[in-house]
Structure 1
Amino acid sequence: MSAEIDESARRRPTRAEAKARTRRLLLDAAARVFARKGFAGASVEEIAESAGFSIGALYSHFGGKEALFLALMAERGLGRVAEATHTLERHGAGTGETAAELGRLLVHTADEDTDFAPLQAEFWLYAVRNPHVLDTMATALREPHQALEGLIGSWLAERGAPPEVGAASVASVVAALFQGLVRQRRIAPDSVPEELFGQALIWLFTGIGRGAAATTADQD
Structure 2
Amino acid sequence: MPKGPTKRRPQTTARLLEAALETFAERGFYGASIEEICERAGYTRGAFYSNFRNKEALFFALFDLHARRVVERLTRAVDELAEPPDADDVVRAVLTRMSALDETERRWYLLSTEFTLHAVRNPDTARTLAEHDRRLREEVAGLLGRLFDRLDRRPTVDLDTLARLTTAVHEGSLAQSLVEPDELAPEELAVTFLPLLFEAVSQKRRAPRRRRTE
TMscore range, shorter length: 0.7 to 0.9
RMSD (Å), alpha carbons: 3.0
Shift of 1:195: 4.5
Listed one character per residue, the Cα deviations across residues 148-176 of structure 1 (whole Å, up to 9, x for unaligned) are 122112223444425x6222221111111
Q: What runs of 5+ residues in structure 1 fail to find an aligned partner?
A: 1-10, 215-220
- Matching residue within 32, 41, 54 for 2:44: 54
Q: Is the Cα–Cα contact under 8 Å of residues 106 and 178 in structure 1 kept in the other structure?
A: no
Structure 2 equivalent of residue 170 of structure 1: 162
Q: Is the Cα–Cα contact under 8 Å of residues 26 and 58 in structure 1 kept in the other structure?
A: yes
Structure having the higher helix fraction is 1
Structure 2 equivalent of residue 66 of structure 1: 56
- Three-state SS of the structure 2 residue aligned to 1:41 is coil
Does 1:208 pair with 2:201? Answer: yes
Change in 2 beyond 3 A, CA 1:104/1:112: farther
Structure 2 equivalent of residue 105 of structure 1: 98
Does 1:181 pair with 2:173? Answer: yes
Shift of 1:84: 1.9
Shift of 1:145: 2.3
Structure 2 equivalent of residue 126 of structure 1: 118
Q: Is the Cα–Cα contact under 8 Å of residues 106 and 182 in structure 1 kept in the other structure?
A: no
What residue identity is the alignment partner of 2:66? R
Tell me how far apart the structure 2 counterparts of residues 35 and 178 of structure 1 sit (CA, whole Å): 20
Listed one character per residue, the Cα deviations across residues 87-107 of structure 1 (whole Å, up to 9, x for unaligned) are 111115646365245235335
Q: Is the Cα–Cα contact under 8 Å of residues 74 and 143 in structure 1 kept in the other structure?
A: no
- Three-state SS of the structure 2 residue aligned to 1:161 is strand
- Three-state SS of the structure 1 residue aligned to 2:21 is helix
- Three-state SS of the structure 2 residue aligned to 1:40 is coil
Q: Is the Cα–Cα contact under 8 Å of residues 62 and 68 in structure 1 kept in the other structure?
A: yes
Farther off after superposition, 188-197 or 177-186: 188-197
Listed one character per residue, the Cα deviations across residues 97-141 of structure 1 (whole Å, up to 9, x for unaligned) are 6524523533515x8743332222211111111222101212333
Identity value in percent: 32
- Matching residue within 98, 107, 126 for 1:115: 107
- Three-state SS of the structure 1 residue aligned to 2:154 is coil
Structure 1 equivalent of residue 66 of structure 2: 76
- Three-state SS of the structure 2 residue aligned to 1:91 is coil
TM-score by length of 2: 0.78
Q: Is the Cα–Cα contact under 8 Å of residues 176 and 184 in structure 2 kept in the other structure?
A: yes
What residue identity is the alignment partner of 2:197? L
Shift of 1:86: 0.8
- Matching residue within 5, 18, 22 for 1:28: 18
Shift of 1:66: 0.9
> Aligned residues, how many?
201
